[in-house]
C-alpha cells in the first residue's frame, strides 16, 4: 500500500478544487472550448448529477460528483 494515495493527493493539491476550477460554469459535451468540457476527459469514477436526480449515499472517495444546473451548466463538484 503506498504512503500517498495519488487519487487524493495530486502533487500537494486538492483534486476537488482542481476539478472545480476546470468545470464550474461550463457545460459537458463532446469537445473542449471556452464554455464546454469534454465528457471523455472526466476521471473514470465520475457521476454526473442532474437536478432532481436520485443518487446513492454510499461513500466513495475516488468518485467525482459533477452537479449540473437546469441548463446543464456545472454548479459544483465534490468527491464522495
Q: What is the pLDDT of residues 7-31, one digit of tens each?
A: 444 456 899 999 999 999 999 999 9
We find that the CATH architecture of domain 15-79 is 2-Layer Sandwich (3.30)
Per-residue pLDDT of 25-50, as tens digits, reads 999 999 999 999 999 999 999 999 99
Query: What is residue 9's predicted lDDT score, i.e. its pLDDT?
Result: 47
pLDDT at 22: 96
Helices and strands, number each (H, E), in the chain = 1, 5
- What is d(CA 61, CA 8) in angstroms, rounded to the nearest whole number? 8
Whether residue 21 contacts residue 37, with contact meaning beta carbons closer than 8 Å, is answered with no
- CA distance linking residue 22 with residue 56, whole number of Å: 25
The total number of residues shown for the chain amounts to: 80
Residue with more model confidence, 9 or 53: 53
pLDDT above 90 (res 2): no
Q: What is the per-residue pLDDT for 12?
A: 60
Q: Supply the pLDDT for residue 75.
A: 98
Give 76's contacts (C-beta < 8 A, 6+ positions apart).
20, 24, 67
Mean residue pLDDT across the chain: 88
Amino acid at each position: 500500500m503506498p504512503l500517498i494515495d495519488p487519487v487524493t493527493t495530486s502533487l500537494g493539491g486538492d483534486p476537488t478544487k482542481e476539478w472545480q476550477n476546470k468545470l464550474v460554469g461550463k457545460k459537458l459535451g463532446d469537445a473542449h472550448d471556452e464554455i464546454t468540457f469534454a465528457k471523455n476527459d472526466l476521471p473514470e469514477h465520475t457521476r454526473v448529477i442532474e437536478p432532481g436526480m436520485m443518487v446513492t449515499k454510499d461513500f466513495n472517495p475516488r468518485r467525482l460528483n459533477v452537479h449540473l444546473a437546469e441548463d446543464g451548466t456545472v454548479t459544483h463538484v465534490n468527491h464522495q
